Structure formats: C-alpha cells, structure tokens
C-alpha cells in the first residue's frame, strides 16, 4: 500500500460516508447508513515500562471547550490521526506495549493509503432517569449489556469477551488509575437467600441482585487520550476497550458508526449506567441531542458520576436484514460548562464512534480488518 503522509485527513473522511438516506422520503425509516470504512492496522509494537497505577479514579471528565470551540478546531492531518489512533495495551501482569498504526482506504479490491471551575450539575430540572428493577428487565437485552467496572464506572458488552468504556475510567491521561492492574467487570445476577433457588415458590417476589465479577485480561487506550488529555483534543478520544479473561455468555450490543444527529430516530439517544447516587441500581435514560461536532454529541441526559463509560445507543432499521437493530454509537464521557453567547450552559457529552474509531475498535475486537468492513 503506497503511503501519502501529507494527505489531509478530511479527504479520507469524505470517502467513508456513502449510501445516506434522506429523512424526508415518503416512507422513511431511520435507517443505518452504509459506509465505506477505512482500515486501521498495526504497523509496529514495542514494550513500555510498567506503569505505577498511581492515579485516582475520576468518574467524570470536565472540559470548557464546547461545541463552537470544537467546531473551530481543524480536523487532524493524516499523520496526526495516526498518532491519535496509535494505542497502549495493558496486560493483567502489569506489562505494557505501544502499537503504532497505519490508516488505509480500500477500494475495488486494491489498497490505497490516505491518509473555569464551576459546581458540576448533571441533572437538568426534573430527574428523568429510570431505575431498572427486577431480573426480568435487568437480565434481558438491552439492559443486560450494561456492566460495572471495579474502578466505579460503567461499561457495555460489545462482543463475547469485550467491554467498551471511557478511557478516563482506567487512565487519567498520564498514568493508569489505582486498581487497573486487577481490573474487574461486574455482571448483575439474582442474589438468592440461603435455601432459596430460582424454582422456589417465593421467587416471584422482587429479588435482590448482586455483582458477579470477571477479571480483565488486557485493555486498549488510544494515544489521542494519553497525549491529549492536557488539552481539549483528549475528550475526542475518551474511550477504551477491555478484554475479559473468559466469555461472559450474554447477548451483547454491536458497535456502529454514529450517524448525524438529524438522522437519529426522534433526534434521541439512550444509555444505561450505574450512577453513584443510586448504588446497586442500573439507571436508564434517554434524551434529545442538543448539538454535535464530528467527534462529540452534546445532550442533557440526566446523569451522575458512575454513569460515565456507558454505551450510547440508538435503534434503527437495518436494510440488509430487514429488521430493527440497536447499536452503540458513542460512549458517555462526562460534563461540560459551555459559554453560549456570553452565558454559561452545561451539557453532558458523549464521544461519537466515527468511521476511524469504528475501524480501530473493531480491529481490537476481531483482530483483522476483513470483518470490519461494515459500519
């Protein structure tokens, strides 16, 4: 594959989106767009020193750079995109590697390269969150895909052994947070009393739930977060993938490329998380998208620390299979105060899964790019 290192990344992005459906057609259904996706492939991997795991876990991320600030930031060049999408891998034994990547667009079977502090508020007026109770809901899709990290955040099952979450849940931009070396993922399950089983006559009563934990084998964090957390570009890369030591045996939710907000059903997003003001409860919410940039979705879904890392999803029509399907299109990151026309306004923010991020996360899951050609 011939390289073109100076090629602007926006030309690559223009090649990705095809097959868009007009929302104004007579019998329009909110349909998953078709994309020609780029390929993100490892080029070289080298060992790094073991981290000290000294950072304090932060359950939310704040930034003063709002939608207009981000819209005024130029898209990264090809070389910058390669740097941001390179990644660190942390293993359960504490060893660590860095992998540098290349970015390619494949066409017609050929390879061609292209390359201020304020009191935080995350509840907006009336609290519109719903606590999910009862195993009939908690153990069924889509709520069953939400899991709890031992560092205090939320994650979402996206494959047989993989969990998608926010990067800040395990890394503060400089080093890994305390407990990451022995990171665990918790799955809610019924908590039966002694002598009481699932077939007991009393099992019709509401059951208490408990977490069953699985250790994490390794984690992937993009260098865009590690390099950029000192400034606002890091917010764009606040995502991480965890690989479990064994399969979880639950239905998972696939990832998808985030469509433009105007193409989302009702302009809304959904997510469920373990908000820390409702300990032990899974909390579901939905709300309208207020604004967007290429990398971020701005909304006012009620949320509290602990919900960060939740998978943001929508349900849209999949034309090929002629069925409705939910997909993860973003990762809930945190809270922002934004200066809008001279007055402060606050948003909760989700990181969008762009075509490049999809290609990267899919490769982390699948281990090859052939299975990552549809977004």
* pLDDT given for residue 14 in this prediction: 36
Residue range 291-326, pLDDT digits in tens: 999 999 998 888 888 899 999 999 999 888 889 999
Residue range 41-93, pLDDT digits in tens: 999 999 999 998 988 887 767 666 777 778 888 888 999 999 999 999 999 99
- With bands split at pLDDT 50, 70 and 90, how would you rate the model's confidence at 128? low
> DSSP states of 53-88 as a string?
--BPP-S--EES--HHHHHTSPPPBHHHHHHHH-EE
CA distances from 343 to 62, 338, 368 (A): 18, 8, 48
CA atoms of 265 and 247, how far apart (whole Å): 32
Q: Which has the closest alpha carbon to 85: 373, 363, 330, 365?
A: 363
Q: Is 335 labeled as catalytic in the residue annotation?
A: no
CATH value of 38-104+133-191+207-366 in 1.20.1050.40, 3.40.140.10, 2.115.10.20, 2.40.10.120: 2.40.10.120
Q: Quick check: 87 and 99 in contact, CB under 8 A?
A: yes
Q: Is 168 labeled as catalytic in the residue annotation?
A: yes
Tokens of 134: 């009862």
Q: Mean pLDDT across the chain, nearest whole number? A: 80
- Tokens 């606040």 locate to 238
**H helix or E strand, kind and range, residue 145:** none
More confident residue, 342 or 331: 331
CA atoms of 90 and 347, how far apart (whole Å): 32
> DSSP states of 272-306 as a string?
EE--TTSTT-EEEEEEEEEEE-SSEEEE-----TT
pTM, to two decimals: 0.83
Q: Quick check: 257 and 35 in contact, CB under 8 A?
A: yes
Q: Where are the domains of the chain?
A: 38-104+133-191+207-366
* pLDDT given for residue 230 in this prediction: 44
- Tokens 């699985």 locate to 214
* pLDDT given for residue 8 in this prediction: 45
More confident residue, 229 or 345: 345
Nearest-10 crossing angle of helices 355-366, 9-16: 80
Fill in the DSSP letter of residue 359. Answer: H
- Asked if the model's pLDDT at residue 23 lies above 60, the reply is no
Mean pLDDT of the 178-186 span = 94
Q: Which of 63, 308, 310, 333 is catalytic?
A: 308
């Amino acid at each position: 594959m011939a390289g073109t290192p100076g090629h602007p990344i926006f030309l690559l992005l223009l090649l990705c989106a095809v097959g868009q459906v007009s929302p104004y057609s007579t019998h329009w259904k909110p349909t998953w767009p078709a994309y020609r996706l780029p390929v993100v492939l490892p080029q070289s991997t080298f060992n790094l020193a073991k981290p000290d795991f000294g950072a304090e876990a932060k359950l939310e991320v704040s930034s003063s750079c709002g939608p207009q600030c981000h819209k005024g930031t130029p898209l990264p060049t090809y070389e910058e995109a390669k740097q941001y999408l390179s990644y660190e891998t942390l293993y359960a034994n504490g060893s660590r590697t860095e992998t540098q990547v290349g970015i390619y667009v494949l066409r017609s079977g050929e390879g061609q390269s292209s390359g201020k502090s304020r009191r935080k508020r995350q509840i907006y007026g009336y609290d519109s969150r719903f606590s999910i109770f009862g195993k009939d809901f908690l153990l069924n899709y889509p709520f069953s895909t939400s899991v709890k990290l031992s560092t205090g955040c939320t994650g979402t099952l996206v494959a047989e052994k993989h969990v998608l979450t926010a990067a800040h849940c395990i890394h503060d931009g400089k080093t890994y947070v305390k407990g990451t070396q022995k990171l665990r993922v918790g799955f809610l399950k019924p908590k039966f009393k002694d002598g009481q089983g699932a077939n007991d006559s009393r099992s019709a009563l509401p059951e208490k739930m408990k977490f069953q934990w699985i250790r994490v084998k390794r984690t992937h964090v993009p260098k865009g977060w590690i390099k950029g957390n000192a400034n606002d570009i890091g917010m764009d890369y606040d995502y991480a993938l965890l690989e479990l030591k064994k399969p979880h045996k639950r239905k998972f939710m696939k990832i998808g490329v985030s469509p433009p907000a105007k193409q989302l059903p009702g302009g809304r997003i959904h997510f469920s998380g373990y908000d820390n003001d409702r300990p032990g409860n899974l909390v579901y919410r939905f709300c309208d998208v207020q604004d967007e940039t290429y990398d971020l979705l701005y909304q006012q879904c009620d949320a509290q620390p602990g919900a960060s890392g939740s998978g943001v999803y929508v349900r849209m029509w999949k034309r090929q299979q002629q069925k409705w399907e939910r997909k993860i299109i973003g990762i809930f990151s945190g809270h922002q105060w934004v200066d809008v026309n001279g007055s402060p306004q606050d948003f909760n923010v989700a990181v969008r899964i762009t075509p490049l991020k999809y290609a990267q996360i899919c490769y982390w899951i699948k281990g090859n790019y052939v299975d990552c050609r549809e977004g």
